[in-house]
């Protein structure tokens, strides 16, 4: 290859290099700014193919899609001076590349820091005028809507950023407060349990006393009834005996004596001293019972 061919090839490479250095592409999801010697000469460069002066010009690109920022958990005081640990996030988007670049120097981390600072101040102010119940459940949606509108107004004008949403992911009591709350809750539950147990013991005593009273009444009524029936039976038995005695007094006397003999001589080990001439032995002396 001759010297002219080498020079021609080198010139072609230089031209290609210059052309490639002069062309840049902005993706559909990004927007750009053009800097010349570090000075901003063109802003909000749209998506597509563009040209620049090699070496002199510099292109910076920024993602204009919706981005999210997890804000580190911070502690805020409610109107009752109760501390709460709040974990939140921000959904944001670059809408004005010129303002964004001038405010942040094109540094996305600086933009996130500025947004987090604004949200931190807003949350501190909003929590400071509300009770714990309101920030946890009562007015939570209203709080976030008001905070989003406030931060968005500032972010648009100062940073070229639109805040799409601000949400609280979690609200918790600080660790040192949480233990005291749990202990207080346990004490309250124990007190309530003691009250229920006391009521149960009182009700049990009442039930037992009523059962004992009913048992006493039932036993008394049963005893009274049994005595009444026994009295009636004894009366009827006496009447039967009287009727039988009146019909044949001698037989009745003989029967009673036999019963007496049976009971008296039922145990062989018993020893009795009886007058053989007494009335008790008259039927033993004479079956006719003659004296």
Q: Specify which residues 88 forms β-bridges with.
A: 71, 168
- In whole angstroms, what is the distance from residue 254 CA to residue 92 CA? 125
Q: What is the pTM of this model?
A: 0.57
* Distance in angstroms (rounded) separating the CA atoms of residues 142 and 71: 20
Q: Backbone phi, then psi, for 286, in 5-degree steps?
A: -145, 115
C-alpha 27/C-alpha 31 separation (Å) is 8
C-alpha count within 13 angstroms, C-beta hemisphere, residue 115: 33
Contact 85, 74 (CB under 8 A): yes
In angstroms, the CA 114 to CA 121 distance is 11
> Rounded to whole angstroms, how far apart are CA atoms 281 and 260?
10
- What does the block give as tokens for 24? 């840049």
Listed in sequence order, the residues at least 6 apart from 178 whose beta carbon sits closer than 8 Å to its beta carbon are 172
pLDDT in tens, the chain (291 residues): 566 666 666 666 666 566 667 888 899 999 999 898 888 888 888 998 888 888 888 889 999 999 999 988 898 988 988 888 899 999 999 999 999 998 998 888 999 999 999 999 999 998 888 888 888 876 788 888 888 999 999 999 999 999 999 998 888 877 776 666 677 788 888 888 888 998 898 899 889 988 989 998 998 889 888 888 888 888 888 777 777 777 766 666 666 766 766 666 666 666 656 555 555 556 555 555 555
Q: Which residues are within 8 A (CB) of 148 and not within 5 positions of it... i.e. 6 or more apart?
A: 163, 165, 166
Q: CB 34: neighbour CB atoms within 10 A?
A: 19
Taking the domain 67-172, which CATH number applies?
Answer: 3.30.479.30
Do the beta carbons of residue 122 and residue 150 sit within 8 Å? yes
Tell me the C-alpha distance between 146 and 159, whole Å.
Answer: 19
- In the block, tokens 């996130």 appear at 112
């Amino acid at each position: 290859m001759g010297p002219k061919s080498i020079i021609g090839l080198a010139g072609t490479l230089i031209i290609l290099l210059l052309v490639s250095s002069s062309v840049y592409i902005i993706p559909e999801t990004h927007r750009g700014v053009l800097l010349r010697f570090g000075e901003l000469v063109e802003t909000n460069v749209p998506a597509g193919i563009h040209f620049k002066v090699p070496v002199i010009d510099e292109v910076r690109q920024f993602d204009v899609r919706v981005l999210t920022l997890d804000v580190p958990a911070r502690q805020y005081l409610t109107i009752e001076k109760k501390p709460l640990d709040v974990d939140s996030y921000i959904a944001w988007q670059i809408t004005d590349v010129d303002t964004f670049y001038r405010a942040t120097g094109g540094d996305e981390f600086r933009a996130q820091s500025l947004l987090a600072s604004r949200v931190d101040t807003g949350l501190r102010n909003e929590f400071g005028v509300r009770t714990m119940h309101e920030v946890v459940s009562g007015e939570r949606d209203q709080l976030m809507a008001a905070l989003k509108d406030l931060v968005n107004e500032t972010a648009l004008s100062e940073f070229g950023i639109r805040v799409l949403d601000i949400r609280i992911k979690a609200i918790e009591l600080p660790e040192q407060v949480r233990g005291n709350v749990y202990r207080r809750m346990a004490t309250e539950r124990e007190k309530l349990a003691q009250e229920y147990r006391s009521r149960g013991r009182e009700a049990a005593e009442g039930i037992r006393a009523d059962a004992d009273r009913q048992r006493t009444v039932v036993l008394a009524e049963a005893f009274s009834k049994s005595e009444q029936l026994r009295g009636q039976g004894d009366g009827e038995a006496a009447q039967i005996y009287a009727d039988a005695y009146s019909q044949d007094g001698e037989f009745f006397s003989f029967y009673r004596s036999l019963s007496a003999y049976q009971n008296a001589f039922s145990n062989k080990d018993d020893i009795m001293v009886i007058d053989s001439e007494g009335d008790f032995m008259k039927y033993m002396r004479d079956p006719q019972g003659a004296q």
